[in-house]
Structure 1
Amino acid sequence: MTYEHPLAYLLGIEGLALLRAFTGDHDREFVEARLAEVRRLLDDPALENAVDTEPLGSVSGYDSWAGTYDNPGNAAFALDEPPLKALVEPLPPGDALDAACGTGRYSAILAERGHHVVGVDSSAGMLARARERVPGGDFRLGDLTRLPVGDSAFGLVVCGLALTHVRDLGPVLAEFARVLRPGGHVVVCDIHPESVQRGSIPALRGPDGRPGRLVTYRHLVGDYVRAALAAGLTVLGCEEPAPPPKDPAPAASDPGPWELWPWSLAALVPDAVRAANRDVPSMLVWHFGLPEM
């Protein structure tokens, strides 16, 4: 069970902004404005309504999310698809594995480029959507640590927005290396640990309607590197995309419904959010390779 207190989140954002001011990013006026805002937040009774959330496993969580997962509004899609396309574009078409394929977003991108795609996911609900999206794909129920495919079967493995839900990266990267042919490529796109730390964790209702968050782990950059090297993979590239600058949204006057936390909470302190999150990456993109024999 996780105790989510809106005031605690907002004070954390204010603290991040003030730390950046302490190291020279902002002036006295900014610091005084943040301290005044903290005092206002402490006096706001609307911020006392905390929520207890249950951890939801990826299978049940994604099964319940399958019907709405592709709805507009998932900001991660605009950040992970461009680097994925840029990395796979130069690769010749061949046999490709979409690990944790979900609704088949990546599978569709690969199929459009001539790849023969096998998709694996642990959620039957997500696989049903993938089969509708990519009728020519081969979609199988399976786990990332025990992929239902043979050794050295693929020249390309892709995996999107899944490894933050895995406790230990080692067995997963080892499976990617097992199913990859020598000279093959692995492309992984996932939520950046800095973004996870700031609350980028999917919010879903459990089967009983109670608030829940998908079980999510904060893997550091070095965690991926160590797991990849241990599996015999080499690091060919790493990108850390940040959201493009955009006009600030109008300041909010209330915390909004729990399903919109932390984004609706952030709207209560837009200046602090801009300062705390400036130039902070939200996506982590890896390009690994398996050396030729």
Structure 2
Amino acid sequence: MTRATLDKQPHEVASMFDDVAENYDLTNDVLSLGQDRRWRKEVAKAVDARPAQKVLDLAAGTATSSQPFVRAGAYVVPCDFSLGMLRVGKRNHPWMPFTAGDGTRLPFRDDVFDAVTISFGLRNIQDTDQALRELYRVTKPGGRVVICEFSHATWAPFRTVYEEYLMRALPPVARAVSSNPDAYVYLAESIQSWPDQPTLAQMMQKAGWSKVAWRNLTGGIVALHRGFKAE
């Protein structure tokens, strides 16, 4: 079993997600106490996919996150660098154009997608700034990015309780439901070390995105950032 470290070597992270692919969606549902379903709905509203639009879902894993865009009538490309995740996704959604790709070197031409989105995956990419630039590169002028990522609770007492859950309660729960519980220890540590909401917004602006804004979900445990590529 693989447990990635916080320097996020791509082969370690990919292997770690390969290990948890089979039960990944169930494990997320349990560990988030069902909140992940609500978060996906908010992402879908923010992306606002339309029929015939092209949407890139980066770090899509098994493409559970892609399904709202499919239902909206968009052409969706689920992309991930974990082949294990892609295999499970292809088995469940054989009609979808699953694509293996590294977030720092996306295998797409410039100006292809009307919308690009990544949910709970940006913090697992080794070079965040490069990933934001790559997402910008493959987006059409006038297109948009939506990033859903774990963040930092805004109310101090709640933040204390949440961080206690991450480091104390999450590992034993993961041992009960996951094929690789050590992976979830890494995920908890990566959440704690992730930049806060304003810092991520600044990183997006530095990568070229304009009209960057964010809103907090579940008290800031999760933040939804959005930006646009100038026409």
Aligned to 2:137: 178
What is the aligned counterpart of 1:83 among 42, 63, 66?
A: 42
Shift of 1:167: 4.4
What is the aligned counterpart of 1:151 among 95, 104, 110?
A: 110
Shift of 1:134: 2.9
1:130 aligns with 2:89: yes
Aligned to 1:214: 186
What is the aligned counterpart of 1:61 among 16, 27, 30?
A: 16
Q: How many residues are paired up?
A: 200
Query: Given the superposition, is the C-alpha separation of residues 164 and 116 from structure 1 closer, same or farther in structure 2, using an over 3 Å criterion?
Result: same
SS of 1:78's equivalent? helix
SS of 2:30's equivalent? coil
SS of 1:106's equivalent? coil
How many Å separate the matches in 1 of 2:194 and 2:217?
Answer: 17
How many Å separate the matches in 1 of 2:197 and 2:75?
Answer: 31
The structure where helix makes up a greater share of residues is 2
Percent of aligned pairs with the same amino acid: 24
Aligned to 1:104: 63
How many Å separate the matches in 1 of 2:65 and 2:93?
Answer: 10
Gaps of 5+ in 1: 1-53, 243-279
1:73 aligns with 2:30: yes
RMSD: 2.7
Shift of 1:135: 2.6
1:286 aligns with 2:225: yes
How many Å separate the matches in 2 of 1:85 and 1:74?
Answer: 21
How many Å separate the matches in 2 of 1:120 and 1:289?
Answer: 21
How many Å separate the matches in 2 of 1:126 and 1:160?
Answer: 15
Q: Give, as a single letter, the amino acid of the residue that structure 2 aligns with 1:284.
A: A
1:223 aligns with 2:195: no
Query: Given the superposition, is the C-alpha separation of residues 55 and 131 from structure 1 closer, same or farther in structure 2, using an over 3 Å criterion?
Result: closer
> Would you say the 8 A contact 1:155–1:184 is kept in 2?
yes
Query: Given the superposition, is the C-alpha separation of residues 180 and 94 from structure 1 closer, same or farther in structure 2, using an over 3 Å criterion?
Result: same
SS of 1:73's equivalent? helix
Question: What's the TM-score, normalizing by structure 2?
Answer: 0.76
Q: Give, as a single letter, the amino acid of the residue that structure 2 aligns with 1:288.
A: G
> Would you say the 8 A contact 2:204–2:212 is kept in 1?
no
Shift of 1:129: 1.9
How many Å separate the matches in 1 of 2:90 and 2:30?
Answer: 22
Q: Give, as a single letter, the amino acid of the residue that structure 2 aligns with 1:58.
A: V
Gaps of 5+ in 2: 6-11, 154-158
How many Å separate the matches in 2 of 1:156 and 1:165?
Answer: 21
Query: Given the superposition, is the C-alpha separation of residues 90 and 130 from structure 1 closer, same or farther in structure 2, using an over 3 Å criterion?
Result: closer
How many Å separate the matches in 2 of 1:162 and 1:138?
Answer: 19
Question: What's the TM-score, normalizing by structure 1?
Answer: 0.61
